[in-house]
Amino acid sequence: ENILSRIRSFEYSQKNAVLVPAAALGIGGMLVFWLRSRHKIRTIEMGDGWWGSGERPLKGKEDESIRPFKIETSDKEIEDLHRRLEQVRYTPPLEGAAFHYGFNSSYLRKVVAYWRNQFDWRKQVEVLNKYPHFQTTIEGINIHFIHVKPSYVPHGRTVQPLLMVHGWPGSFYEFYKIIPLLTEPARHGLDGGDVVFEVICPSIPGYGFSEAPHQKGFDTIATARIFHKLMNRLGFKQYYLQGGDWGSRITTNMAQMLPQCVKGLHLNLIFIGRQGLGRIISVMLGAYVPWLVGLTREDVRRVYPFIQRNIYDLLRESGYLHIQATKPDTAG
């Protein structure tokens, strides 16, 4: 019973991940689930890639060194920024438009004034440099990450590597407040049990201080592969993962790619990838001829108010998403 209570059976597919508590299944249920799932487990091919500028060099090994990195700014950069902020030209907003047509230029004045007159850039640079920063070159681009180790490990405690991946619009800085709770739980009044973590927080390529890909086709699978290579380069064979927003897709891809390396996966956003043209058409027809697509009147009563409140609102407020997904260089 003790063993069963600690077993968790995972079934990964390229679309989603399902967690089934084995203790809830019983011995017979576990056996059936195992027999079914052992044939269904699919992994993503790790493959390889090149995202540097120009063609991949035919000879020579990539520089695998881990280089210390420090965030810096200068008076010249800050003065240039201040000059740009001071030269902003505003167009009056439509009367009564609030934010329905986009960002309100009256409020924008307050935002710009904050960045120009109140925000302390030098102090923020000091805050960002609180933890050790590094860069390394993987698949032709420089990957930035912070790596925080416990300053003290009590006797009998195990240090476990934990990779934490941010999302959009975010950065490694998202994790600054939780890092000390993970690396030194006892100092913060937490019962760390038998485990403390050393935390690795990379910047997704194109974010923060990680170099952007120079080639087309970069995606979450390429990011997952790069982050596996990063952990391997740091000397880790097995590790835990945490992800939110795009980080959840990246870390899920990592678990699907090399499940033998992933000891645990924690997500605070779940992507459900079971959409398709047929499903979209069914939803559209369901409002008018529900019987044709297998919906009951009760389904219609429950589903379509949700679509009206959520799906339509999403379409109305996601113009930025369509631009970034189809013409990112325009926004850039």
Residue by residue, pLDDT tens for the chain (332 residues) are 333 333 333 333 333 333 434 344 455 555 554 555 555 557 899 999 999 999 998 888 899 999 999 999 999 999 999 999 999 999 999 999 999 888 999 999 999 999 999 999 999 999 999 999 999 999 999 999 999 999 888 777 889 999 999 999 899 999 999 999 999 988 888 876 668 999 999 999 999 999 999 999 999 999 999 999 999 999 999 999 999 999 999 999 999 999 999 999 999 988 776 566 677 777 777 778 888 888 888 888 888 787 777 677 777 788 888 888 899 888 88
This prediction has a pTM of 0.78
User: CB of 257 within 8 A of CB of 228?
Assistant: yes
- Token pair 């420089």 is found at 142
Q: What pLDDT does residue 276 have?
A: 64
- Contact residues for 154 (Cβ-Cβ < 8 A; gap 6+): 186
Residue 86, SS3 per DSSP: helix
Cβ 261 vs Cβ 230: under 8 Å: no
Residue 167 near residue 246, CB atoms below 8 Å? yes
Beta-strand runs (E) in the chain: 8-12, 17-21, 67-69, 133-138, 141-148, 158-165, 195-202, 239-243, 262-267
Q: How long a stretch of residues is the chain? A: 332
What are the CB-based long-range contacts (under 8 Å, 24+) for 232-235? 233/64, 233/66, 233/136, 233/138, 234/66, 234/147, 234/161, 234/200
Strands 141-148 and 67-69: unpaired
Q: What token pair was written down for 263? A: 């000891």
Measured at the CA of 324, the angle between CA 177 and CA 173, to 5 degrees, comes to: 10
Answer for the pair 210, 204: CB distance below 8 angstroms, yes or no: yes
Tokens representing 15 are 């679309």
Q: What is the reported pLDDT for 256? A: 96
d(CA 12, CA 18): 7
Strands 67-69, 133-138: pairing is: antiparallel
First to last CA, the chain: 57
Q: What is the DSSP letter of 96?
A: T
> How many C-beta atoms lie closer than 10 Å to residue 27's C-beta?
9
Supply 323's token pair: 């631009």
Tokens of 220: 């979450």
| Side chain identity, residue 103 | F
Is the previous residue joined to 132 through a cis bond, with omega within 30 degrees of 0? no
CATH code of the domain made up of 130-267: 3.40.50.1820
| CA dist list (Å): 130 to 55, 70, 123, 177, 211 | 37, 10, 11, 11, 22
Q: What is the DSSP letter of 42?
A: -
248-273 CB burial, b ≥16 within 10 A, e <16:
bbbbbbbbbbbeebbeebebeeeeee
Torsion angle of the four alpha carbons 135, 137, 143, 145, in this order, in degrees rounded to the nearest 10? -40
Whether the Cβ atoms of residue 250 and residue 165 lie closer than 8 Å to each other: yes
CB atoms within 10 A of CB 242: 22
Domain boundaries, the chain: 72-120, 130-267, 277-330
Per DSSP bridges, beta strands 17-21 and 8-12 are antiparallel
